[in-house]
Amino acid sequence: MAYSISITTGNGLQEQFVIPFDYVSVEHVKCYLDGVETAYTLTDPGMLELATAPASGVAVKIQRITPSDESFVNFVDGSVLDEDVLDLMNRQLLFLSQETIDAAGVANNISEDALVNALDALGISSATTTLANAAVATAGAAEAKADTAVATAAAAEAKADTAVATANAATVVAEGIEAKADTALANSVAANSTAEDALFVATAAASGAVASFNSRVGLVVSEAGDYTSVQVTHGGGSVSDELSALNAGKAATSHTHAISDVTALQTALDGKAGTAHTHAISDVTALQTALDGKSDTTHTHAYLPLAGGTMTGGLITTQVASKSAQEKVQSAATTTVEVSDGAYITRTVTGAATWASTTSTLVGGYATSWVLELTNGGLGAQTFTGVKWSGGTAPTLTAAGVDILVFTKTGTTVRGYLAAGDSK
């Protein structure tokens, strides 16, 4: 009966497995699938659940491993000794004893299996020896018959040779089986040694001592880091020696080469220009043509003088700031208005007249405006071609006086306003 180990077999469907033994902490309960430790979830104190059901035939081992490197209870003078503390100390000792018994049982099972195999091998060896003896006896009888039967001596001798060969072959088989028996006996001795080690661990645990290797206790299985490359052998030498032999004759990870070490490198370099070199303009395709279309870096441009200069065409500015703004006044007698000649226009009429605006300098997307100071405009009908008046009706002008008219133009639309009638 196992106290701390439960071994079952997966069926591809079951995910939950019973924990058939008590434990102090869930960290002491391990689950192995075909010998590989596997994580699980504890659904309740007596049941664990795997993320995936083990495949059919996979060995599922649930094992309790109670820590033995230190006592769960540390007594101090004057402390209260209650039932929980005594139970915890007793459970640790009980669980360690049970786990030691289980380990010894596993070792004994291995030893018993080895002994059975050894006995089977010895039985086979004995049977083979009997066959060999029978073959030798048969050879002796054949040889006797050969001595008494002169006429068939040659045939009898041939049979005797065959019998001897058979006996020799049987002897070889017997020797091979005997060697296997020796190996089986050696395995039995090793198994007995393992059992003795387990008993030693059990005895040590019972006496309060700890048998350990590299901080691991109980039946210790070798792990990565237990041995160095010098201690591990391979091919008649250590792994360290093998690695040294592999490293011999190899270049360092950081090394240099001469140009001659690289095939055709010098030839390739001979066809290259130095890092510091020059070119003529003719060496660069179309460079001279491109330069011919450029100005010198020291060229100049004519500019408008600060005083006395004249600009022609439209002037577009994003911002104008001035302390005083003055507009040119034009007073010619023509009735055709050209804003570029002055945006404040004075006229005196003596009768009817037709007015037209050109504003030929108007730039698309911009607007312009002008003022007409008209004297005696009421002496006759004043017609302003294409002007849209406020309210749709042209204003009545003063026959003997001054009227101030304001015009704006956007695109082709001109609008007129009477800013001041009969201005005094």
Which residue in 350, 352, 345 sits closest to 400, CA to CA?
A: 350
Quote the CA–CA distance of 157 and 162 in Å, as a whole number.
9
Q: In what helix (H) or strand (E) does residue 118 lie, and over which residues does it extend?
A: helix 83-148
Residue 4's pLDDT is 95
State in Å, rounded, how far the first CA of the chain is from the last one.
133
At 234, give phi and psi (nearest 5°).
-165, 125
Cβ–Cβ under 8 Å, residues 65 and 99: yes
What per-residue confidence (pLDDT) applies to 318? 54
28: helix, coil or strand?
helix
Question: Which pTM value belongs to this model?
Answer: 0.31
Asked if pLDDT for residue 390 goes beyond 50, the answer is yes
Mean pLDDT of 359-377: 78
Tell me the pLDDT band of 48, cut-offs 50, 70 and 90.
very high
Highest-scoring range by mean pLDDT, 32-41, 83-92, 182-191, 331-340 = 32-41
Mean pLDDT score of the chain = 82
- 246 or 45, higher pLDDT: 45
Cβ count near 242 (within 10 Å): 16
Mean pLDDT value across residues 361-373: 78
Lowest mean pLDDT segment, chosen from 32-41, 173-182, 409-418 = 173-182
- From 27, 3, 6, 1, select the one nearest 17 (Cα to Cα): 6
Please, which pLDDT band fits residue 314 given cuts at 50, 70 and 90?
low
Quick one: average pLDDT of 51-72? 95
101-130 pLDDT, tens per residue?
999 988 888 778 777 876 786 777 777 778
205 pLDDT more than 70: no
Mean pLDDT throughout 238-245?
A: 82
Share of the chain above pLDDT 70, in %: 81
| pLDDT reported for residue 210 | 47
Q: Does pLDDT of 154 surpass 60?
A: yes
pLDDT score, position 373: 93
Share of the chain above pLDDT 90, in %: 36
Q: Using CA of residue 130, residue 135, residue 138, residue 144, what is the dihedral sign?
A: negative
> Does residue 351 sit in helix, strand or coil?
coil
